[in-house]
Amino acid sequence: MVLEIVLMWSGVTLYALGSVLFGAGAAFGRQALLRLAMVISLAGLAPHSVAIALRWIRVDHGPYLGFYEVVSSYAWFTVVVLALIAWRVPKLSSLGALLMPVSFLMLAAAMFTPKSGMEITGTLASYWLTIHVTLAKLSYAGFIASFVLAVAYLIRDKGWARGALAEVLEKLPSQEILDDLSFRFAALGFILLGSMIVAGAIWANEAWGRYWAWDPIETWSLISWLVYAGYLHARLTLGWRGAKSAWFAALALPVVLFALIGVPLAYNSIHGVYLLGY
Partner 1 sequence: MIGLGPRLGRLLRSRKLAFWLIVVLSIWSLLGTLFPQGGRSPAGFQSKLADIPELVSLADAIGLDKAFSAPLFLAAVGLLFLSTIVCAWDRTRLAIRDWRSHGRVTPAAAERVIARSAFSIPVRIDAEAARVLEDVALGFEAVGLGAKRGEVLVEGSVAPWRLLASPVFHWSLVVLMALFAIGGLTRFEGLIGVPVGTSLPDVPESYRTSEAGPLFSGHTGLSIAVDDLVVGFREGGVNRGPAPTVTVSGDRGVLASQRVYPNHPLRHGPIMVHMEDYGLAFDMVLADSDGTEVVRELFLVDFDEAQPSGTVPTAVALERADGKGNLSATVELWPTTAERTSSEIRLKVSDEDSRTLVDARPVEGERTRVPGSGVSLAVENVRLYARLGLVNDWTVAPIYVAFAVMVVAVSAALLMPYRVARAKISGEGQDRELHVWVRRSADEAVFVQRVQEAVSRSLAGRAASDEEGAKHGS
At 238, phi and psi to the nearest 5?
-100, -5
Number of residues that bind partner 1 (CB under 8 A): 56
First to last CA, the chain: 21
Q: Which one of 1-9, 25-33, 148-156, 229-237 is the stretch in contact with partner 1 (CB under 8 A)?
A: 229-237
How far is the C-alpha of 53 from the C-alpha of 118, rounded, in Å?
Answer: 16
Radius of gyration of the chain (CA): 19
Q: Which of residues 160-189 bind partner 1 (CB under 8 A)?
A: 174, 176-177, 179-181, 183-184, 187-188
Residues 17-76 that bind partner 1 (CB under 8 A): 60
Rounded Cα distance, 137 and 50, in Å: 19
For partner 1, which is the closer residue by CB, 97 or 215? 215
Nearer Cβ to partner 1 (58/233) = 233
Q: Count other C-beta atoms under 10 Å from residue 277's C-beta.
A: 14
The residue within the footprint of partner 1, chosen from 130, 230, 251, 254 (CB under 8 A), is 230
Determine if 111 is a binding residue for partner 1 (CB under 8 A).
no
Q: Which is nearer to partner 1, 27 or 188 (CB)?
A: 188
Binder among 109, 131, 207, 243 for partner 1 (CB under 8 A): 207
198 lies in the site for partner 1, by CB under 8 A: yes
Q: Does 120 bind partner 1 (CB under 8 A)?
A: yes
Cβ atoms of residues 217 and 178 within 8 Å? no
Give 201's contacts (C-beta < 8 A, 6+ positions apart). 211, 212
Min separation Cβ 129 and partner 1, Å: 9
Q: Of 54 and 202, which CB lies nearer to partner 1 in the complex structure?
A: 202
Cα 242 from Cα 150, distance rounded (Å): 9
Smaller CB distance to partner 1: residue 84 or 265? 265
Q: Which of 250, 79, 102, 119 is nearest to 179 (CA)?
A: 250
Please identify, among the stretches 17-25, 47-55, 110-118, 215-223, the one whose residues bind partner 1 according to the rule CB under 8 A. Answer: 215-223
Residue by residue, DSSP assigns 7-53 as: HHHHHHHHHHHHHHHHHHHHHHT-HHHHHHHHHHHHHHHHHHHHHHH
Chain residues binding partner 1 by CB under 8 A are: 60, 119-123, 125-126, 128, 174, 176-177, 179-181, 183-184, 187-188, 190-191, 194-195, 198, 201-203, 205-211, 214, 216, 219-220, 222-223, 226-227, 229-230, 232-238, 265-269
